Amino acid sequence: MGFPMNIQNPFKTLPFQNRMLKADFHLHAREDKQDRISYSAKDLIRLAAKQKFDVLSFTFHDDLFYPRDLISFAKKRGITLVPGTELTIHGRHVLVNGIKKLPKVKELTGLEKLKDEAIITAPHPFFPTSTALREQLLQNLHLFNNIEYTARYNQFVNFNKKAASLAQQSNKPLLGNSDCHHLIYFGYTFTQVDASPSIDSILEALRKKKFQLTTTPLPTKWLLKAGIENAFNEYVVKRISPQK
């Protein structure tokens, strides 16, 4: 892995004193029946522990996956699990971290009622997939705490560029996540959080924008294997069979 490129959040340069928590707030695993994934949540936690991660959030599709045994499994490895989900609202994905129960949100405007409790992020907002928020993000920017910078890119193909410029214009921070579906690209893009390792402290730091994106482009062969073809497949599939 090359030397990570630090992208400052556009709003300010952060005076970090202590060691930052290494975090990924957008993770999937085999236990989610809505995804086709080869690794288990524990496999991912083991890998994250090797990479010295402190904070992980499993964000299954329209589900809250937060079992007790997994929380203690992670804790034994120095990792705090933050409960989260990836909601599908009119076919578009919305990342929600810090929930206590699965929110029932049918419209994007319904996110308003979650804002006090949870952290709301626009995941992969301009990727060429039907689940990207795109114009819905532009129209509802006030509902979102963060815009995601997603791991699936390299120096030639980077669908995060628009997200980064929107973040700059709108003064929204970029939250670095893997949106992990394959272990090969975990750890290239993550977020460093200026917090202590408790859920409350982590959420507070996110709310106060005390975090920073760290990202490294993927090696091309892994990008091809892991992500781009999925994105294009979905794009092509969507063209052939319009959304329900």
Query: Which residues make up the interface to Zn ion (CB under 5 A)?
Result: 86, 93, 123, 179
CB of 93 to Zn ion, least distance (A): 4
Our CB check for Zn ion shows the closer of 180 and 193 to be 180
Q: How many CB atoms lie within 10 A of CB 5?
A: 11
Is residue 146 within 8 Å of residue 174, measured between CB atoms? yes
**Nearer to Zn ion (CB atom), residue 24 or residue 179:** 179
Residue of closest CB approach to Zn ion:
93
Shortest spacing between CB 45 and Zn ion, in angstroms? 17
For Zn ion, the closer CB: 43 or 62: 62
Q: Least separation, in Å, of the C-beta of 209 and Zn ion?
A: 22
Minimum CB distance to Zn ion smaller for 20 or for 41: 41
Which stretch of DSSP H or E encloses residue 237?
A: helix 229-240
Q: How far is CA 81 from CA 3, 42, 102, 213, in A?
A: 27, 12, 16, 19
Q: Is 59 exposed, middle or buried (0-12, 13-18, 19+ CB in 10 A)?
A: buried
Q: Least CB distance from residue 195 to Zn ion, whole Å? A: 23
Q: Closest CB to Zn ion among 14 and 157?
A: 157
Please identify, using beta-carbon distances, which residue of 28 and 210 lies nearer to Zn ion: 28
Radius of gyration of the chain (CA): 17
Residue type, 238: K
Q: Min. distance of Cβ 13 from Zn ion in angstroms?
A: 29
Helix-then-strand count for the chain, H and E: 7, 11
> Least CB distance from residue 123 to Zn ion, whole Å?
5
Query: In this structure, what DSSP letter does residue 47 have?
Result: H
Residue pair 207/143 in contact (Cβ under 8 Å)? The answer is no
Query: What is the Cα 159 distance to its own chain's centre?
Result: 15
